[in-house]
Amino acid sequence: MDLGIRGKRGLVCAASKGLGRGCAEALAEAGVDLVINSRTESEIVETARQIAERHGVCVTPVAADITTDEGRARVLEAAGQTDILVTNAGGPPPGDWRDWTREDFIRAIDANMLSAVALMQALVPGMMDRGWGRVVNITSQSVRSPIAALGLSNTARTGLTGFVAGMSRQVAGHGVCVNNILPGIHATDRAVSLDKGVSDKQGISLDQARQQRQATIPTGTYGDPGDFGAACAFLCSQQARFIVGQNLLLDGGALNVTI
Ligand code: NAP
């Protein structure tokens, strides 16, 4: 399917690997010129080179921490007029609700709620002026069903979801569609580090921890970052113009819910 976005300009945050990279690859395949970001310079530069070579689009890497004002300023300067925004950042660490301090909450809310809000505040007004835009926020299945050890993530991402629910309806009349994708467990470094948390806590091997977590998913597998990226690219397509303020759960059926 032609997504109708060849020649558009996109910004994908936290994209040197994992889900962000999956989104960058799929948008590049659809012909979108990209600015991509993550903190480790050598990795983001190499990722940009590979994506540009594979898909024949222009890809500009920016090494910066997207959760800081200074990092966002540098990313936004490189991005300029952007038609497509994918917000993403590393997730908060697991832990116990009894231990989290105010500073822990502020850090998580800054990283997984307010940095996405700030990026939308910076870029969506320009999209509205030009009459076209797409925003996809990478959140988590924890928005629909809390994950006990990830209370910091549950809290911050639910806040972002509430913000998007309201603002997406205010910008849709200007041709801008804002939606969220909620990943269940995908085969990325983040999944390995959470496997490791389970293996350490239960005194089992990494392999056993993965099998245990896979068994909670009806497909019996972890999700593929490339498939995740394809869903993101569709939400950024022309054909997604009637999809507004939605939360697309990609979890292999893991959440046992009717809607
Ligand atoms: P990943 O494979 O660990 O990749 C994270 C990417 O983000 C890397 O490119 C990393 O590069 C970059 N990054 C991390 N912190 C950053 C920051 N502050 N500023 C800029 N770039 C940053 O993680 P993932 O699995 O793709 O997860 C992406 C998001 O989805 C996370 O928020 C995660 O919690 C959430 N999520 C993932 C899953 C899953 O199963 N994979 C499930 C639910 C939710 P640098 O380290 O070089 O910056």
pLDDT tens figures, 139-152: 999 999 999 999 99
By the 8 A CB rule, do 142 and 191 touch? no
pLDDT tens figures, 35-52: 999 999 999 999 999 999
**Ligand 1 pocket test, candidate residues 19, 25, 74, 222, most atoms within 8 A of CB:** 19
- Please report where in the chains the tokens 């936290």 appear, as a residue: 14
Residue 171 to residue 147: CA distance in whole angstroms = 31
pLDDT tens figures, 167-190: 999 999 999 999 999 999 999 998
Mention every residue, 6+ apart, whose C-beta is less than 8 A from residue 236: 3, 5, 10, 27, 30, 32, 84, 86, 134, 136
Residues with CB under 6 A from ligand 1: 14-20, 37-40, 43, 65-67, 88-91, 138, 140, 183, 185-186, 188-191
What residues form DSSP beta bridges with 137? 87, 180
Q: How would residue 30 be classed by pLDDT, with cut points 50, 70 and 90?
A: very high
Residue 134 to residue 173: CA distance in whole angstroms = 13
Ligand 1 centroid, distance to 23 Cα (angstroms): 12
Please report the pLDDT score of residue 194 as a whole number: 86
Please report the pLDDT score of residue 190 as a whole number: 85
Please report the pLDDT score of residue 233 as a whole number: 99
Domains of the chain: 9-184+228-245 (3.40.50.720), 187-222 (no CATH)
Instruction: Indicate the pTM of the whole model.
Output: 0.97
Residue 181 to residue 246: CA distance in whole angstroms = 8
Q: Is residue 7 scored above 90 in pLDDT?
A: yes
Residue 92 to residue 53: CA distance in whole angstroms = 33
Residue 159 to residue 110: CA distance in whole angstroms = 11
The percent of residues above 70 in pLDDT, for the chain, comes to: 100
